[in-house]
Amino acid sequence: MQSLGARTLDWLEDAIVMVDQTRLPGSFETIRISNVPDLVAAIRRLSVRGAPAIGVAGGFGVALAARRCGTGNTAFDDAVQTIRMARPTAVNLAKMVDRVAAAAVRGPDAALEEALAVRDEEIIASELMGIRGADLVSELSFGRSAYRILTICNTGGLASVERGTALAVVQTLHERAALEETLVLETRPLLQGARLTTWELQRMGAPNRLVVDGAGPYLISIGIVDAVLAGADRIAANGDTANKIGTFSLALAAQHAGVPFIVVAPESTIDMATASGDDIEIEYRDGQEVISFGGAMTTPNNTEAINPAFDLTPSGLITAIVTDQRVVRLDQGESLSSV
C-alpha cells in the first residue's frame, strides 16, 4: 500500500495511486494503476468517483497512455477516447482528458506536466470553495453562530484530491467553530453518504448524523436545516445542475421551506457549451445495484429496476452556485455568463 498523505488520488512512481472507495469504510486500501484499461475499470466501478477526482484521474490516464503508447498514433487516440467515455455525466472527465491530450502533442513529459497542473488546480480550488461557501452560509443564515448543514452523496477529499467541494465548505465551517452538525443523506443505492461522507467527517472530528434519503426533505421542512449544500457533476450554462440522484427533491424542499440551496463545484464543472439541463446525458447504471446489497439479493427473483445515477435540479431552485472563483446568486438574477 502506497501512502498518499492527505490526498486521495495522486501520481506516484510513474503510476496513478488512489484510495479504493469501494473498500470504505470497512478498510482503507490504495490501488496502483499503470495502464488505461485498469483506470477505465476503476472509474466505472467507482473506485474513484466525484467529478473533480475523475477529471484528475482522466488527466493522469492520458499521461499514462502517452508514456505507454507514445503520442500522435491510433493507439494513443483510442486510449484517450476510452478514458473520455468511461462515465458520461460528469463534464470534468471529458474536459481534463481533452486538455491533457492537447498538451500531449508536445510529448509524454508535457502530458504529465499538464496532468499534474490539473491536480494542483483542483487542490487550490477546494480550498477556495470552502472559504467562499462558508462565507455565503454565514451571510444567508444570519442570526446563528453555528450552522446545521444537510448534504447528499460524498463531496469531500474522496471526490476531489483534498478537502472537496460541498464538504470543503463544511470543513471550513468546522475549522471556524461555526458548524453545529452535518446531516448526511445515506445516498442510495451505493451509500456514498453513509460509507464515505460519514467516514470523512469523523476523520475531521466534525459532528454529524446519518439519515435515510427519504427523510431529507422532511427534515428541511421542519426547520432543523440552515442550508443544503450539494456538489455537481455538470452545470449547464443556464445554471441547471446534474448531481447525485435525490438532489432535486432536496432543492424542492428547500424552496418550500425557504432554506438556501447551494451548489458547490469548481469552475471546471461548469459547461458553457451545454445550454441547459435538457442537454445533459444522465447516466443509468446497472439495476443490480438497486435489487441487491453487499452481494445479497434484497428483492424477489426477477425484480427489475431503473437506476438513474443523477438527476437535474433546475436553476430556479438554486440559491447560489459557489466555485473557486466566484459566487453566482441565481436567486438574485445573476447568471454564469454575467458574473
Burial class of 13 by CB neighbour count within 10 A (0 to 12, 13 to 18, 19+): exposed
Residue 231 and residue 263 in contact, taking contact as beta carbons nearer than 8 Å: yes
Please pick, among 226, 233, 271, 324, the residue that the annotation labels catalytic.
233
CA 271 to chain centre: 15
Residue 228 and residue 220 in contact, taking contact as beta carbons nearer than 8 Å: yes
Residue 9 and residue 48 in contact, taking contact as beta carbons nearer than 8 Å: yes
- Could you tell me the sign of the dihedral formed by the alpha carbons of 180, 201, 176, 339, in that order? negative
Told to judge if 286 belongs to the known catalytic residues of this protein, a careful annotator would answer no
Q: Is 130 helix (H, G, I), strand (E, B) or coil?
A: helix
Q: Is 166 helix (H, G, I), strand (E, B) or coil?
A: helix
Nearest to 22 by CA among 4, 52, 43: 43
253, containing H or E segment:
helix 247-257
Q: Catalytic residues, which ones? A: 233
